[in-house]
Chains A and B, each alone.
Chain A
Amino acid sequence: MAALKVSHIRSTLDAFAVLYSHAGATEQSDAIAAMSKALARADKLSVDEIVQALEKAKSKSPTGKT
């Protein structure tokens, strides 16, 4: 089975951003939309690649060091 692409996740996030917006939860809607926008350039990549990049960024961040 093909690896899940970031675009699949983004379409889900975008759908929920609309739902939150319709429910009047603007702050939540904006936060999810911002997250989706940040992921947009990675649409063609697999979720695995993004998770690995996030883990790498976490290990480099002062807040991520344990």
Chain B
Amino acid sequence: MRGHQLREILSDIRDAISGSGGAKQAEAIDRIQSALADLDHCPANDVVNRVDAAVASVTQPAWEAKLAQLQSAGLDEVEFLKRLDEIVTDKSIKKADLLQIAQAYVGYADKKASASKLADAIKTRFYGKIYDRDADEMAKRATPW
């Protein structure tokens, strides 16, 4: 199913309820489906994923959204450092948020550590992951059987 087919279903639902006293719901469904129009040629799953991401953006605490951005950088060093820098320089991210991010990313974090120490701990964990990956690859090359 494509995005436009999903929107057509939503339009059908809108039409069905607008004539039976559900004018407000019909208008709301219309606004939701209109906001998804740019995904008409994408798979319907992309539409659902867009809705999921939009919901997450308004329901997740800020630190969870930042953590997700950091984790989605994977082992891409440039991307990771860019995203970490965004977190550190984002004034809406308080030290308590950074502590939550560090605890989730590193596995533990000292509550008394300064913000820069927490950022360092996150960075160290990232380079630890890079080291683990490289060590695994070297081990595989050394023992191909």
Residues of A within 8 A of B (CB): 4, 8-9, 12-13, 16, 20, 27-28, 31-32, 34-35, 38-39, 41-42, 45, 47, 49-51, 53-58, 61, 63-64
Q: Are A12 and B35 in contact (CB under 8 A)?
A: no
Residues of B within 8 A of A61 (CB): 38, 50
Q: Pick the contact of A58 from B31, B38, B45, B56 — CB < 8 Å?
A: B38
Q: Is the interface of B mostly helix, strand, loop or mixed?
A: helix
Q: Is the interface of A mostly helix, strand, loop or mixed?
A: helix
Query: In the assembled complex, how far is the CB of residue A50 from the closest CB belonging to chain B, in whole angstroms?
Result: 6
Question: Can you report 14 A-B residue pairs in the complex whose CB atoms are below 8 A from each other?
Answer: A4-B24, A4-B28, A12-B13, A12-B22, A13-B13, A28-B9, A34-B48, A35-B47, A38-B48, A45-B58, A45-B59, A47-B28, A57-B50, A58-B50
What does the 1/0 interface line of B26-38 toward A look like (CB < 8 Å)?
0011011001101
- Known pairs A12-B17, A31-B6, A64-B38; A56 contacts B54 (CB<8 A): yes
